[in-house]
Amino acid sequence: MPLPATLDVANTLSPITDARLTAAFEYWVLQSIGGRLPRRRDIDPVDIPKLLPILMLVEVLPAGRYRYRLVGTENADAFGMNATGRYLDEVLPGPEYKTHVLALYDECVRVYRALYSECLFISPQHRGPERHIKVLFMPLSDDGEQVNQILVAQVFLHIDHDMRQRHFLEPRPFKEIVHVLF
């Protein structure tokens, strides 16, 4: 299945403001030779050493399950564990957030396109970490027909007081503030 004909990185107005995520997206597009999704073997860690700490490689399994094949060090640190080899539905906190994240993976697989999302997380009474998470899901297909892995680039930022006040008028644990397909 080919990539959407409209994918033109140089002329695409992108909501991605993080330089590492932009570099990951540009690399993924460059590996999309002939308009097809990149294969796993097209992604060479030697080409992108500065991106490795923010990357995850996620295997798409039958029945809508996903397994972390590789988790970069920045993500492992942010999660408080290295989830390599674990299933997402067993690791993600939930239930609301888990459902949201799994739906993002499902959408990436279903539409055969890269997906960018940003979420804010607040902690009731400021007891836990408050984060602004920016994540880019980039599908991979070894057979050109089905997405069998997803290359994920994810960064964690601190939520400042102004952002907290602007986005959290109701006490929800997280809120998606950007959702874009490429």
Task: Evaluate whether residue 3 is within a structural domain.
Answer: no
pLDDT mean across residues, the chain: 86
> What CATH number does the domain containing 64 carry?
3.30.450.20
The count of domains in the chain is 1
Which single residue is written with the structure tokens 């080899």?
A: 85
**Could you tell me if residue 5 is inside a domain?**
no
What's the CA gap between 99 and 166, in Å, rounded? 24
User: Is residue 3 scored above 90 in pLDDT?
Assistant: no
The answer to whether position 9 is within a domain reads: no
Residue 138 corresponds to which tokens in the numbers above? 């980039």
Q: Is residue 159 part of a domain?
A: yes
Share of the chain above pLDDT 70, in %: 81
Among 22-36, 56-70, 142-156, 165-179, whose mean pLDDT is lowest? 165-179
* pLDDT at residue 60, as a whole number: 98
Asked if residues 3 and 114 have their Cβ atoms less than 8 Å apart, the reply is: no
Cα angle 123, 128, 19; round to 5: 85
For residue 37, being part of any structural domain is answered with no
For residue 160, tell me if it sits in a domain.
Answer: yes
Q: Give the pTM.
A: 0.84
The verdict on residue 36 lying in a domain is no
Residue-wise pLDDT tens digits, 30-87: 999 888 999 999 999 999 999 999 999 999 998 889 999 999 999 999 888 999 999 9
Domain that holds residue 159: 18-31+51-181
The residues with which 139 forms a beta bridge, in sequence order, are: 150
